[in-house]
Structure 1
Amino acid sequence: MRQTARPAHPHLLASPAFEELLGGGGGPATMSALRASERSWRLLVVRAVLDSAGSAPAGPLPPPADAWRLLARARTVAEEAVEELLAYPAVGVWAAHTLRRLRGTAEDEAPLWVHTGHLHAIAASAAVRAGLEFRTAVPVRRGWAVLPALGAMRVPEASEPSEWAVAEVVARADGVRVAGRGLAGPDWHPLTELRADGCTLLLDDSDPYRTLRTPAAAEPLDHAAEWQRLFGEAWEILCDTGTGVGSDTGTGTGSGTEEARALAAGLVSLVPRPRAERFRPHSASSGDAYGAALASVPDDGEQLASTLVHEFQHNKLSAFMHLFTLYADQGAARLYYAPWRDDPRPLGGLLQGVYAFFGVTGFWRRRGHHALGQFEFALWRSQTAYALRAIGGADGLTDLGERLVAELARRLEPLLDEPVGARARSAAELAAADHRATWRAHHLRPDPGAVRAHAEAWADGRPMPAAPSAFGLASDGSTIVPCAPARGFDTRAVLLRWLLADPAGFDGLRDDPGAVVSGARPEDVDLVTGRTAEALRAFRARVLGGDGDPETWVGLGLAARAEGDAAGEGLLARPHLAMAVHSELDGRADPLELGRALAVADGDSL
């Protein structure tokens, strides 16, 4: 695409915008600067796709160069509309994924020509926006021909006998037709606009690249009324209380309306996913898709508002990281504990997490008028501070990365002393300790020599060997070995959310908690409701019965600590070691006595 009027210049962030982003914030002007930088990033990737696709088979479609020429025609007539389309998040995912396919670093089930041919769909969408008359062909995936950021046409006959086919797109003065069907007909599914006063997001349920990673078939919603209602509630909350990451300080002291305007300037599309369990929403974003947020149907508008803040933070940091280097590329060689994930994370993923949950903490700080809001604020300020403390000493951070971590920590520190209700604080402490210890129990493998030494000391009646602080999670000589847990590490935290937000609903799940909260057991209910003696007996019996999975060992530690038993500290600090020594001793050691022997003298921060 010819760029005659726009000479190449390096992107610069003005000092105020730079400082805002370092502190986790960013107002509307800063979002405009990020959009401009992402435009250049997007054009580079799209151009790389075109260059690489020149020698690739085009299949039944015209060559990609034809699509590029149609894009150029559309841009001469409607530059702003075409630029807006090229900046559409799903276009970024398409470009990145297709480039990886062309370079042999990604795979999926679609033929390569379906991916390279999607450029024709982008060009057709641009030409429709520009009001051009044209004729072209676009890929059909499983019976759907998509025009990005516009909608999708159902072409059922195209799915036989193959999942991949071609449809003709024709635009004349009398309208646009896809596979012979008009855009006003019943087979056309336009994208819904979620509208609120000051913000409009496209609800994208059809673009094959909308799901941010592996391409997916169109899944048009029967109706979007529920999403519109929830979005309206979420936007009202954001305008009233703000996102929690004010453009002035980054700790949520800016104007709510100004913060909401920044979010509106940064997000473009919302990708709907099916409803998840209550209090277990799913959401995602991608550095390839600036402006997109993927989200399951939320429980309510407040949860959606929190999700939008979360994914907005990820979007900002991804764009910032396209401009600046925050850490050295270490691949997957070093993994870290992330207090919001069940799996170990690389340094870049941990940075993304602290940035996002810094924003989430600020949001819930503003929503502290009810018990659940106080719980979320207390939990995420604690977990974010814990992660910032760990990442601050990580190898691989650049000077700028260290500066960002230090600035987030500085702005978070005053929030750690803000008062919250005793009930919410206690619940947050339980949830944080549970997640950290469960992560250790699942992913840490103690040194075999250390296990033998501890087992021999136990068998001989000698004191257990002293162990170093476990704050770094693997600093005691253990090895991080990722595994697939049988249940979510947040299971007891979800029960706590039920208890705080919906006591009546919680009473209804007591008899069979696993039917409502996946993975929950009766002893978990006892633990979160303060029946800790009963919970301790149940957890201990499960271990002695040979059914001591990581969650049970951690539950035993939590219950023991609540009962004032020193075994709690030992089991929560070293659950992986306790489990390994217990196994080495063929289950002969009483788990509570083992926990007392492992109690850490320096009192690990749990």
Structure 2
Amino acid sequence: MLPAVPDRAVDELGRTEGGPETLGLLVRDQHTRRLLLLRAVLDAAESAGPGVCPAAALARLREDWALLEEAERLEPSAHRRGRPYRDGPVSGRPDGSVPVSEGPRGSVPVSEGPRGSVPVSEGGAVPGNRPPPSPVRALLLHPLTGPWARDTLRALRSGTGPLTGRDTREPARALAHFGSLAAVAAARAGVSYAVRLTAHDGVLTLPSLGALRTGGPGSGETEVAVVHRRGRLTLRRPGEADVVVRLQSGAGAWSEAAAWTSAYTLPGLVLDSAAVPLDDLDPYRTARGGPRPDTLSGPAVLDEADRKHWLHTWSGTAAALGLGGERRLAEAVTLLRCLVPLAAPPGSVPGGAGGSCSGTRREAFGAVLSSAPATATVFAATLVHEIQHTKLAALSEMMTLHHAGPEARHFAPWRPDPRPYDNLLQGAYSHLALADFFQRSALAATLPTLRDAAWAEHARYQAQVGAVLPALVGSGDLTVRGRKFVDRMVEVYERLAEQPPPRGHAARATAYVQAARALWTRRHAPGE
């Protein structure tokens, strides 16, 4: 039974806020949904015919899950007294069966809070640490495991009907990635094993550890023998020297081999908070094969200079978030679990207008995708923006806010095209949080140049939200609780209006919105 959403949480989220209990509710619900999704993947693999999921792929899946179960059995002692190691490879049960429980086969209990997170108080302070999650849970609930599970389920289900031109090898290839997840979780738990994994297109990715290059793009599949003993992985390929990789605490793994690239993490936003992966390796970090939102670029692969730039910008992000209100920092600490670097948009000028892009994915709860930010302040605003999308998307899965259809007919001053009602609500919600963030930043800033820049941003976002609130409030498609949510948004907008920006900024923002509306009307008004 998924939890109900109390009115208090609806009020908090409608105000673009969210205390520890409310944010924890969103996290727990998303974790439950993730485990149910994994169960669905396993059920789909079991029920798919050999034309979709060959017997060898199904047997391998069962072995991988048995390895995951072994890691989970060792977890309690590993986290209380240090990680024990067992010698000898791990095998599945004699009949190849996998037990079924109330969650996924060999299910992992849902954590009390986000992966590796520390609960945050109303004032943004971070109280005492909680124990780290088990290696199994950390991998299964990691944001980028979600896109893999969704894509795998689609591949398994789409192949059950008549062939539609899809690659019939895709289900087996997707299931093979689960072997990498199981191998990483077992290594983190201290299980000794010997398994065979498959590299695709010249890369074998071990999530949270790193990636092994086995060839160039388009080089097909390569079998890699993987042996783990006492924190040391040995990766063996035919005709190549062994690559020895040593696990590091938390994330990443070190090797002197040039073919190995370690996963990279940024330090926690605040003291004692979890490190944040900056993941440019996971094959599921961006949409695969399907349409990409027109505002997003493709994935980036970082070099050392890129990582230094990200680290430099990241080091000032917490302070910039705090300037716009402690709750903005608190929600980032609680909800942000992974960053995915994107390439700069085509034709953009780095550091200039249009030189960045960002986004979130519903199936990757806790991940923010972003091109390299120009400054800490810019990135803080990006996080505020994207975390609102994360919150509202999670809430929308727990309760129905409206019954509006998908017709794209609404004006939004931040977009040139008509928007469906749900997209309008999402955009207004994130822009309202930015209006609040920049107003607080302006009021807290001591340098005139920073204060002026913050007022300019606040005025623009406030004017944009004001332009669309009538369409949101006036909709007859809102549910009772959806109207309650939108009413709280209106309250925030009115509160912000009590401290208006300097006249020049307000006038320019109003003129901007009016010009955007006039252009939109010429392009999209009926009869035009």
TM-score range, shorter chain: 0.7 to 0.9
Q: 2:339 aligns with which of 266, 270, 277?
A: 270
Q: 1:230 to 1:97 in 2, by over 3 A?
A: same
Q: 2:429 aligns with which of 355, 358, 365?
A: 355
Structure-2 separation of matches of 1:86 and 1:363: 33
2:270 is the counterpart of 1:188: no
Contact in 2 for aligned 1:59/1:113 (Cα 8 Å): no
Question: 2:40 matched to which residue of 1?
Answer: 48
Q: 1:214 to 1:59 in 2, by over 3 A?
A: farther
Q: 1:210 aligns with which of 285, 298, 307?
A: 285
Runs of 5+ consecutive residues of structure 2 not aligned to the other structure: 76-132, 237-241, 246-254, 291-297, 443-449
Supply the AA of the counterpart residue of 1:192: Y
Contact in 2 for aligned 1:206/1:217 (Cα 8 Å): no
Q: 2:138 aligns with which of 47, 66, 84?
A: 84
Specify the SS of the correspondent of 1:101: helix
Supply the AA of the counterpart residue of 2:317: A
Structure-2 separation of matches of 1:191 and 1:431: 43
- Once the two structures are superposed, what CA deviation does each residue of 1:443-492 show, in whole Å capped at 9, x if it has no partner? 3341xxxxxxxxxxxxxxxxxxxxxxxxxxxxxxxxxxxxxxxxxxxxxx
Structure-1 separation of matches of 2:437 and 2:461: 10
Supply the AA of the counterpart residue of 2:151: H
Supply the AA of the counterpart residue of 2:362: G
Higher helix share: 1
Q: 1:15 to 1:399 in 2, by over 3 A?
A: closer
For residues 494-573 of structure 1, what are the structure 2 equivalents within 5 Å? Answer: none
Question: 1:63 matched to which residue of 2?
Answer: 60
2:296 is the counterpart of 1:221: no
Structure-1 separation of matches of 2:191 and 2:312: 36
Specify the SS of the correspondent of 1:206: coil
Structure-1 separation of matches of 2:397 and 2:195: 34
Q: 2:26 aligns with which of 34, 38, 44?
A: 34
Specify the SS of the correspondent of 2:26: helix
Question: 2:127 matched to which residue of 1?
Answer: none
Question: 1:178 matched to which residue of 2?
Answer: 235
2:132 is the counterpart of 1:98: no
Structure-1 separation of matches of 2:390 and 2:264: 22
Structure-2 separation of matches of 1:107 and 1:270: 34
Question: 2:465 matched to which residue of 1?
Answer: 384
Structure-2 separation of matches of 1:428 and 1:155: 53
Question: 1:260 matched to which residue of 2?
Answer: 329
Q: 1:394 to 1:102 in 2, by over 3 A?
A: farther
Q: 2:270 aligns with which of 197, 200, 222?
A: 197
Structure-2 separation of matches of 1:167 and 1:136: 9
For residues 77-156 of structure 1, what are the structure 2 equivalents within 5 Å? Answer: 77-78=74-75, 80-104=134-158, 111-156=170-215
Q: CA deviation at 1:212?
A: 4.9
Contact in 2 for aligned 1:212/1:285 (Cα 8 Å): no
The worse-fitting range, judged by mean Cα deviation, of 338-347 and 221-230 is 338-347
* % identical equivalent positions: 29
Contact in 1 for aligned 2:276/2:337 (Cα 8 Å): yes
Aligned residues: 422
Q: 2:413 aligns with which of 318, 327, 339?
A: 339
2:509 is the counterpart of 1:428: yes
Specify the SS of the correspondent of 1:271: strand
2:205 is the counterpart of 1:167: no
Structure-1 separation of matches of 2:231 and 2:72: 22
Supply the AA of the counterpart residue of 2:424: L
Specify the SS of the correspondent of 2:39: helix
Contact in 2 for aligned 1:205/1:221 (Cα 8 Å): no
Structure-2 separation of matches of 1:153 and 1:372: 45
Contact in 1 for aligned 2:44/2:153 (Cα 8 Å): yes
Q: CA deviation at 1:135?
A: 2.6
The worse-fitting range, judged by mean Cα deviation, of 423-432 and 171-180 is 171-180
Question: 1:241 matched to which residue of 2?
Answer: 324
Q: CA deviation at 1:176?
A: 1.0
The worse-fitting range, judged by mean Cα deviation, of 314-323 and 53-62 is 53-62
Query: CA-atom RMSD, angstroms?
Result: 2.7
Q: 1:322 to 1:119 in 2, by over 3 A?
A: same
Specify the SS of the correspondent of 1:367: helix
Supply the AA of the counterpart residue of 1:98: T
Q: CA deviation at 1:377?
A: 0.6
Q: 1:443 to 1:147 in 2, by over 3 A?
A: farther
Supply the AA of the counterpart residue of 1:141: H
For residues 362-401 of structure 1, what are the structure 2 equivalents within 5 Å? Answer: 362-368=436-442, 369-401=450-482
Q: CA deviation at 1:21?
A: 1.7
Q: CA deviation at 1:59?
A: 8.8
Q: CA deviation at 1:214?
A: 4.6
TM-score by length of 1: 0.65
Q: CA deviation at 1:131?
A: 1.6
Q: CA deviation at 1:230?
A: 0.4
Question: 1:73 matched to which residue of 2?
Answer: 70
- Once the two structures are superposed, what CA deviation does each residue of 1:397-448 show, in whole Å capped at 9, x if it has no partner? 22222221121112211223422123322321232122222222333341xx
Q: 1:439 aligns with which of 520, 524, 528?
A: 520
Q: CA deviation at 1:51?
A: 1.2
Structure-1 separation of matches of 2:383 and 2:143: 15
The worse-fitting range, judged by mean Cα deviation, of 385-394 and 227-236 is 385-394
Supply the AA of the counterpart residue of 1:296: S
Name which one, 1 or 2, has greater alpha-carbon Rg.
1
Q: 1:307 to 1:426 in 2, by over 3 A?
A: same
Q: 1:337 to 1:139 in 2, by over 3 A?
A: farther
Q: 1:173 to 1:347 in 2, by over 3 A?
A: same
The worse-fitting range, judged by mean Cα deviation, of 401-410 and 13-22 is 13-22
Runs of 5+ consecutive residues of structure 1 not aligned to the other structure: 1-8, 243-255, 447-575, 577-606
Q: CA deviation at 1:174?
A: 6.2
Q: 1:329 to 1:425 in 2, by over 3 A?
A: closer
Contact in 2 for aligned 1:50/1:65 (Cα 8 Å): no
